[in-house]
Structure 1
Amino acid sequence: MKKSLMIGLMVAALVCAFALPSVIAGNAPAADMVLKAPDGKMKKTPVPFPHKKHEGLADCLVCHHKAADKNAIKGCASEGCHTDNSKAAKREATGFYQAWHNKKVKNSCMGCHKAEKKGPKGCKCHPKKK
């Protein structure tokens, strides 16, 4: 009885040691990503975004402001966030363009870079087409 209990506890400990980090990391975004419009239509090139470099600069929920907590975070172009890439939505706070370019709010890329006086300001984010 003691032997089977010990084996069971050891198996449980091994499962926790190896499986738990995978479950926790399952929600983690890629270290580097490319920001593209949800409909794929962009006048400028997609923007490389070093997510890992931005982690820890602010609470995740500053940028991902619609999430209830860190486990509910989705990408900005996910349904219910900044999915409208139409010309009419370009000036709307919920529009895809404003999520990145609105200089008046700190939870947009341009707004944060302006407030923090760090990082690119202007179209330097979009790499030149090759």
Structure 2
Amino acid sequence: MKKSLIISLMVVALVCVFALPAVIAGNAAPDQITMTAPEGAKATKTAVDFPHKKHVDGGLDCMVCHHKSESKDAIQSCAVEGCHVDASKAAKKDPKGFYQAFHSKASKASCLGCHKAEKAAGKAVPVGCKDCHPKK
């Protein structure tokens, strides 16, 4: 009886040692994200290399940017169906459109809106087009 209990505990311990890091890593935020226009849309600027880990480490609440997600465990990209996928010229001024999701000066959930507010508070953050869209 003791022998089977010890073997069972060892198996459980080994499973935890090898499986737990994989489960935790599955929910970990990526360090860097390359943000591109939605599939089928013509990009007029270079893709943005977004320092995701820097924003997470800086204490930004995930749900500010990922406002349509139900929880931190169900976060999806802005370019998934039902979110900010309309990159047409007609949708450029639409708050639900792809362009405004990142460039709206009125929304703190957009990159530019948040950065403008942070700059007004005295922080050194990028706010110019070329800061995020460098020529390559």
Structure 2 counterpart of 1:102, from 94, 101, 104: 104
Runs of 4+ in 1 over 4 A off after TM superposition: none
Consecutive unaligned residues in structure 1, runs of 5 or more: none
Which residue of 2 is the match for residue 36 of structure 1?
Answer: 36
TM-score by length of 1: 0.92
For the aligned residues, what is the CA RMSD?
Answer: 1.3
The corresponding residue for 2:12 is: 12
Please report the TM-score for the alignment, with normalisation by the length of structure 2: 0.88
| 1:58 Cα offset (Å) | 1.4
- Provide the rounded CA distance (Å) in 1 between the counterparts of 2:103 and 2:109: 10
Number of aligned positions between the proteins: 129
- The farther-off stretch of 98-107 and 54-63 is 54-63
Give 2:23's aligned amino acid: V
Q: Deviations over 1:31-80 (max 9, x none)?
A: 11211011252101001111111104311111110111100101111121
Paired letter, 1:107 = A
Structure 2 residue 125 is the aligned partner of structure 1 residue 125: no
The answer for the alignment partner of 1:21 in structure 2 is 21
Rounded to whole Å, the distance in 1 between the matches of 2:71 and 2:56 is: 15
